Structure 1
Amino acid sequence: MVRRFSIMRWLRFKASVTAAAILQTFTGNPAWTPARFDKLAEEGFNRNVWVYRCVMVTAQHVASVPLLLYQQKRKKRVEVEEHPLLDLLNKPNPLQSRNEFMESWAAFLLLSGNSYIEMNGPTRGAPTELWAWRPDRTTIIPGGDNFIQAYRYSVNGRNIDVPAEKIIHSKFFAPLDDFYGLGPIQVAARVIDQDNAANTWNASLLQNSGRPSGAFLAKKPLNDKQFERTKYQLRQEYAGASKAGKIMLLEGDVDWKEMSLSPKDMDFIESKKMSRLEICAAFGVPPELVGDREHATYSNYKEARASFYMETVLPLLDKLIDKLNAQLIPLFGDNLTLAYDTDQIPALQENSEVKWTRAIEALKTGLISFDEARHMVGYESISGGNARLIPATFIQVDEEGASISTGDEGNQDDTIQDPMKRAEMIFTKAASALKTKQFIDSIEKRREGFIKSAEQIIRKRFAAEKKAVLKIFDTAGESTDIVAAIEKAIDSQRKEWEKTLTAIWMATTEEFAKNEFERLNSQSKGMQAKFFDQEFAVLNTIIQKYIFDVVADAVTKVTKFTKELLKHVIGEGVAKGESLLKIAKRIENVYTGDFDKNRSITIARTEVISASNYGNHMGAKATGLPLEKEWIAVLDSRTRDDHAETNGQVRDMEDYYDIGGEKAMYPRRP
């Protein structure tokens, strides 16, 4: 056992010859910091307003970004809203809040190039406290199998060595140091000194009434006593800002010689501007954010803030989060990850909106799939997400680049000038084109995306309904009318069902209405570009009322079916003399079995297909053209016999189809 450990250690160091050489250099002695942090903090942070502001604005912005905890479950990443790790981060120690802790962590790193977080708690397992150490009190002790043996914290002559695995050490890259990082304040040390010197010089000039030094010239030599007396008198009576402008009274034959400076030598303003820009550059902070309103580096303040987040704040936050994910998070369990959402950062909201718009437009034009669009905005893949939308206005071509014929090319007549007649003719031809497989497939693919989304939110609605129904059994007794109680619980979910189905209908209707309007508009070439928005707004009241009525009817049917099914399930349990607990299990199995999935899909398909057909109908109606409609049945296993028989019926827009003796304005709805 001992031999095996020695071999493993030898192999580890053989893989890194440089590490072994470095450790031999120190032989267990402390690796001293290359610069005194206390001096850097005193001369830079404490004395220079630009350094102070750059450090604080960066640290405060880092601390303001909300941290999110995710857990990987199979192929899906799920957000965790309650967890001991989140509790620790929200209250890292008795003296600091989350923001104070994150601010000090980031500020120490910016000032010294190093930051140290102590994970205080049990010897093994997750820590209970997090403390940010002062870099000026921290020394690295090289050695051990992991390159660093311990971290030493020194206070008032007392040294405390803490094992390396208990410390999270973050540092900036330093090309000439094996242990410590190189901070921005060290890189900018010379320009900071120059700026401080300029401030000191200007303060001296102010105290000297804004005048440079001068000299009194005695025409006759002064003895030592006269010289000392005159010097004392000048210092006591006339030196200092409070005595500026006071009339001098001197003895003897003396003259004043002013030591003037050239305008170039006195140009401190430009010098300080350059110093300010260099300091801001070292910290990666736009000058606008620290009070510089003169130097217009960005077109506006909003762009400066967004750039500041993307180029400085988030990279620094990534460095800190990576350390937490590497050292702290594994102590709380597997498959956990800390991250953040840029959509929750106000300064990046506009960037987020642009990203969403770009993804939606690319999806609509068929350039990318549903999954590719979801990835662009930070969402996971979904089942069936490889599908693409094919806009109805696109012409499908074969691999040789030739257009796929619809059989109507020879009948086109471009000599018709009347837009209305031309639109009517084109729509008649389009009705024939509807029968082609390409057109039907494009409609089905666009529907499929809505059906997938609708299925997910319907399943969530069933899950909420299940929770409400099963809650009855928490207080139910032998005398409880279970059927009545369950019906009441289902009825209590009616408003939520109405919200869910209304959302499905509104989204689907508007999308398909607009698409159908634009398809006809592009073919007629005789309407205004904004005509849809105007006409659809007029029809909006009619559409909303229709959807309200349809949804109310749909919810009634959904809840009625559920009530009847659960009533049957309860009846079976009662007939077998089962306890309330077993009956509750029966009901839970109904909601969590194939019934839930299959029924969600059925409802989603029914409502989306109905809403899309209604949207097509209203989009065509919004054109104001004298149009006809034709019933096109998708002849597959799901198509009803009476719908298949209705295939090919042509009607005016406001006339009903005849479906086996019943009337319908369009498929799926009367």
Structure 2
Amino acid sequence: MPSIPSFTALLTRFLGRTPAPAARPSQTKASAAGRLIALHAHGRPVWSPRDYAALAREGYERNPVAHRAVRLVAEAAAGIPWIAMQGGREVDWHPVLDLLARPNPRQSGPELMEAVCAYLLIAGNAYLEAAMIDGAVREIHALRPDRMKVVPGPDGWPEAFEYTVAGRTVSFDQTGRQPPILHIALFHPTDDHYGFGPLAAAGAALDLANASAAWNKALIDNAARPSGALVYEGEGTMALDQFERLKRELQENFQGAANAGRPLLLEGGLTWQAMGISPKEMDFLEARNQAARDIALALGVPPMLLGIPGDNTYSNYQEANRALYRETVLPLLRRIMAAIAQWLAPSFGEDIRFEPDLDAIEALSADRAALWARVSAADFLTDDEKRLAVGYGVRQG
């Protein structure tokens, strides 16, 4: 009777691999689950979620709270200078800093970083392209995330990216020494290739806020009063000419913002009967404020900085501003810095890394002064240890 192959042998045969002898284990370091991830899409592009355009339109373009929150975080992160560290020491100059300061002819360094941060907040994905000239990185460009597709390789990692505009597609091969594309993705619990944007988590709040604004606009256009009905209480039915005249007078004299509050004269057995819920009964303002707080919460911005009333956890504006930098801006920026340092390592050195210049952040000046005072008073630390404690490298030479 022939023997039944084991599950491992079947899986190995299905994946197209030849099992290595037990005495000679493979020296290749790769994820054992990567092949399983790539099985369904090896060599084929994986489409990104198609909700980016809706989030950009309904959130950033139409909702003032989401628009301001995204700009607040992106502009704050883009305005922080970068410090280059090499070999554990801060360097005064490095070619990668010049590249990031003038990444391309169309954008300055802060403009590029603002775009990257905004893409991450809206889409959860940001893509940077390295333009190579004579084998060296000369320019860096930010690419729209909704136009990019990941092409997984046999190990589950992206082996290429495809960028499509107006029906034309450019393919970027990632297998070279310097990958041309950097993909920065925020954590997504159910997607192997794409990130999850904070604005998507506020989708319900965005719908509520936008629907409230549309309802309020329609209410103002309709004489700023809830819907209702004119009830004819006379005998029989209203004549056709009477109905048409009443309809015409209502449209001309009582609808629209210019006619708001104009009294309505009823005659001939007509009475007004309200058929809607008043704004007070709907708790209209509180519902809009709660939606705004949810949007600010998803994007990591204290509501006080956006002028949203209620639930002000922070005692003053300065404390809320410090919280914005400590809890949102700096973690996002450090994530971007680490990704760029790893991406450009083949061209600029494996030991290059970046740190934000905290001394340039005015909102954190009080925190820095308190740290310097504590470190200066620590007599048991050497000068180099004190420099390291406050974020500087040891003295050179």
Which of 35, 39, 48 is the aligned partner of 1:20?
35
Which of 346, 350, 354 is the aligned partner of 1:330?
346
> What is aligned with 2:232?
218
Which of 179, 182, 200 is the aligned partner of 1:168?
182
Q: Is the 8 A contact 1:13 1:19 kept in 2?
A: no
Deviation at 1:202, TM superposition (A): 1.7
Q: Is the 8 A contact 1:343 1:352 kept in 2?
A: yes
Partner SS state of residue 80, structure 1: coil
More strand by share: 2
Which of 254, 260, 268 is the aligned partner of 1:244?
260
1-structure distance, mates of 2:353, 2:198: 29
2-structure distance, mates of 1:234, 1:158: 54
Q: Is the 8 A contact 1:142 1:148 kept in 2?
A: yes
**Could you say what the CA RMSD is over the residues aligned between the two structures, in angstroms?**
2.9
2-structure distance, mates of 1:257, 1:12: 82
1-structure distance, mates of 2:114, 2:162: 23
2-structure distance, mates of 1:215, 1:13: 77
- Write out per-residue CA displacement over residues 139-174 of structure 1, whole angstroms, 9 at most, x where no aligned residue: 222225562122221211222222232111111100
> What is aligned with 1:118?
129
User: For structure 2, which runs of at least 5 residues remain unmatched after alignment?
Assistant: 1-16
Q: Which has the larger radius of gyration?
A: 1
Q: Does 1:300 align with 2:316?
A: yes
Query: Using CA pairs below 8 Å that are at least 6 residues apart, which structure has the higher relative contact order?
Result: 2
Partner SS state of residue 313, structure 1: helix
1-structure distance, mates of 2:293, 2:81: 30
Q: Is the 8 A contact 2:220 2:260 kept in 1?
A: no
> What is aligned with 1:38?
53
> What is aligned with 2:168?
158
Q: Is the 8 A contact 1:172 1:183 kept in 2?
A: yes
The 1:153–1:381 alpha-carbon spacing in structure 2 relative to 1, beyond 3 Å, is closer
Deviation at 1:268, TM superposition (A): 1.4
Partner SS state of residue 52, structure 1: helix
Deviation at 1:281, TM superposition (A): 0.9
Q: Does 1:109 align with 2:124?
A: no
2-structure distance, mates of 1:191, 1:256: 35
Which of 134, 137, 140 is the aligned partner of 2:144?
134
Deviation at 1:211, TM superposition (A): 1.1
1-structure distance, mates of 2:246, 2:103: 65
The 1:222–1:58 alpha-carbon spacing in structure 2 relative to 1, beyond 3 Å, is same
Which of 79, 83, 92 is the aligned partner of 1:80?
92
2:132 partner letter = G
User: For structure 1, which runs of at least 5 residues remain unmatched after alignment?
Assistant: 1-5, 383-455, 461-670
> What is aligned with 1:425?
none
Q: Does 1:198 align with 2:193?
A: no
Which of 352, 359, 377 is the aligned partner of 1:343?
359
1-structure distance, mates of 2:19, 2:82: 39
Which of 31, 42, 66 is the aligned partner of 2:81?
66
1-structure distance, mates of 2:394, 2:110: 34
More helix by share: 1
> What is aligned with 2:389?
376
1-structure distance, mates of 2:41, 2:342: 27
2-structure distance, mates of 1:14, 1:355: 42
1:106 partner letter = C
Deviation at 1:292, TM superposition (A): 3.4
After the TM superposition, which residues 461-472 of structure 1 pair with which residues of structure 2 at under 5 Å, given as runs?
none
The 1:137–1:222 alpha-carbon spacing in structure 2 relative to 1, beyond 3 Å, is farther
Deviation at 1:15, TM superposition (A): 4.5
- Write out per-residue CA displacement over residues 231-279 of structure 1, whole angstroms, 9 at most, x where no aligned residue: 4553344321123344657774322212353565332111122112111
Deviation at 1:209, TM superposition (A): 3.3
1:305 partner letter = N
Deviation at 1:340, TM superposition (A): 2.2
2-structure distance, mates of 1:89, 1:8: 46
> What is aligned with 2:4?
none
> What is aligned with 2:299?
283
Q: How many residues align?
A: 371
1-structure distance, mates of 2:263, 2:279: 27
Deviation at 1:34, TM superposition (A): 2.5
Q: Is the 8 A contact 2:90 2:392 kept in 1?
A: no
Deviation at 1:308, TM superposition (A): 1.1
After the TM superposition, which residues 235-634 of structure 1 pair with which residues of structure 2 at under 5 Å, given as runs?
235-246=251-262, 252-259=268-275, 261=277, 265-292=281-308, 295-363=311-379, 366=380, 368=381, 370-380=383-393
* TM-score normalised per structure 1: 0.51
